[in-house]
Chain A
Amino acid sequence: MLLHIGGFRLDIDSQGETIWHHLIPQTRVLCAVLFVFAIALTPNGRWWTWAIYGTTVTAIILASRVSLQVLLKRVAVEFVFMGVVILGTLFRDGGQVLWQWGWLRVTTEGLTILGSVSIKALLSLLVMNVLILTTSVPALLHALAALRVPPLLVAILASMYRYIAVLAEEFNSMQRAARSRNLLGNGERQRTVIGNMFGSLFIRTYERGERVHQAMLARGYEGFPPMADVPQTKQRDIVAITLTAILALSGQAIYLLF
């Protein structure tokens, strides 16, 4: 699970000096979200719409100068994980039968849905990965706060992000301890040990939460963490959002007008 995490350094390209990087974080978030929704909500079989969206996504990738190798590697791994669900869309009735082997048949409708779904999943993955690779997590959280996500939710997200690595390390060291004592032998043993591990780690986690709370109180915490100043919206941000909206709409308009 989550093999693609690797390290927890996500924003390897966040220090760039390109047009994309000059947009303030909330503009980048807004553009990406708008675009992902436009891509995913397009009905199946509208190839020209995705041609427009695909060109735009390529333009964003080139403009943001993300490391292509990293981007493609991440997308490839994530795509493999989707592979099985995507294959499930192929074998169905409807349309012409193109290929048949016993009851296993591939029809034109199955191919249309397979193609559409893969393109949608791929383009959405590309957009989200460009966003995550170019924007640091604190910047993302500030952007969410600026976009009127409830501050309490943003604060919980921030505190969670801070402790993921800590807890993953605790899980690892506990597993290592169990393994070095030869406790992870057969399946039943493994389940008992891992179940006990979850139990004791939950207790530790809860106590850690209380300790963190005490530490926060000692530093003058009053219920909401302070938020840094959000950068002001500039003209180019408005241009970027308008451009995204126009492109998203024009992709859909092709099929409405012609």
Chain B
Amino acid sequence: MDTALLSISSFFPLHWLMPQLAMHIPDGFLSFPVILLTWVLAIALIAVSLNRVQEEYQERTVPLMGVCAAFIFAAQMINFPIPGGTSGHLLGGTFAGVLLGPWAGSLVMAVVFIVQATLFQDGGLTVLGANIVNMGLIGTFGGYYLYRTIRYALGRDSFRGIIVGTAIAAWTSVVVASIVCAFQLAISGTVPLMVALSAMVFWHVMIGIGEAIITVIAVSYIWRTRPDLLYKAPRTAPINASRPLSPR
């Protein structure tokens, strides 16, 4: 069955549409048990992160989370070329995690998905829980902790640690989220597992590369200009802060 999809993609402009679709599942694609489980997880994530964020930011919560969520929303509308000939857009899960930390980051991502699902019908209402789990919990929370592990292993205050951590976490979180999404579709009986896996994972390996490149460039820009804005900012000021990357 996995060869099936490759040739379907030659009939239909899959390579153009697939990255645009990302992982926003529409209504009607998931079965009741999957919907129930993902909603419970999503509500728990939102409830805990609301409390954590409120503790950390106090009454700065509303304006800061609001503008950051609007930032991610607007950033997702910018298309950029992905190596391999297609174009995609940032999902921003790991980016939010690296800059705002796991709790504020996943809250921001959840808010973005709520607005996309309710106001813009980008992703269904019943599957909102699954979308939050895939891209908020796995993308941001999982992405952040992977980044943190790598960063602390390579040196908490080193540029190398932050960049390597960001790159690996950004790619991995996108690919893992797409695998989880494929399993959700397969368990619900909507799309056969092999088709779902080959379609989702193949494209998200590519999308993940784009995500990693853009996230690394953006994070290194912030490291060079305002390193204090990174979550768990480096304790020493970057030595020999060079100019931001510029196109040659």
Provide the residues of chain B in CB contact with A203, threshold 8 Å. 222, 225-226, 229
What 1/0 mask marks residues of chain A from 153 to 194 whose CB sits below 8 Å from any chain B CB? 101111111111011101100010000000101011111111
Instruction: Indicate if B207 sits at the interface (CB-CB under 8 A).
Output: no
What chain A residues lie within 8 Å of B155 (beta carbons)?
none
- Whether B153 is near chain A, meaning CB under 8 Å from some CB there, is no
B66 with A153: CB separation less than 8 A: no
Contacting pair A213 B69 (CB below 8 A) = no
A199 touches B7 (CB 8 A): no
In the complex, A40 has a CB within 8 A of chain B? yes
Judge whether B221 and A195 touch: CB under 8 Å.
yes
User: How many B residues face the partner with a CB closer than 8 A?
Assistant: 94
Which residues of A from 1 to 35 have beta carbons under 8 Å from B? 1-2, 4-5, 10, 33
Q: Is the CB of A167 within 8 A of B67?
A: yes
Q: Which of B14-22, B144-152, B156-164, B171-179 contacts A (4 or more CB under 8 A)?
A: B14-22
Q: Are B80 and A191 interface neighbours, CB within 8 A? A: yes
- By the criterion CB–CB under 8 Å, are B62 and A156 in contact? yes
Given the complex, which residues of B lie within 8 Å of A37, measured CB to CB?
A: 125-126
**With an 8 A cutoff between CB atoms, is A202 at the interface?**
yes
Interface locus among B131-139, B188-196, B233-241: B188-196
A39 in complex: contacting residue of B27, B75, B248, CB < 8 Å? B27
B114 sits at the interface (CB 8 A): yes
Chain B residues with CB under 8 A of A201:
71, 75
Residues on A with beta carbons closer than 8 Å to the beta carbon of B107: 156
A-B CB pair tally, cutoff 8 Å: 277
CB pairs A–B below 8 angstroms (19 shown): A36-B124, A40-B35, A91-B192, A92-B192, A119-B28, A124-B26, A132-B118, A137-B119, A150-B47, A152-B54, A157-B114, A160-B65, A164-B74, A191-B213, A191-B214, A192-B246, A195-B216, A198-B78, A198-B214
**Which of A10, A84, A193, A210 makes the CB contact (< 8 A) with B21?**
A84
Contacts of B61 in A (CB 8 A): 152, 156
Q: Give the residues in chain B near A124, CB-CB below 8 Å.
A: 26-28, 124-126
Once the chains bind, are A113 and B124 in contact (CB under 8 Å)? no
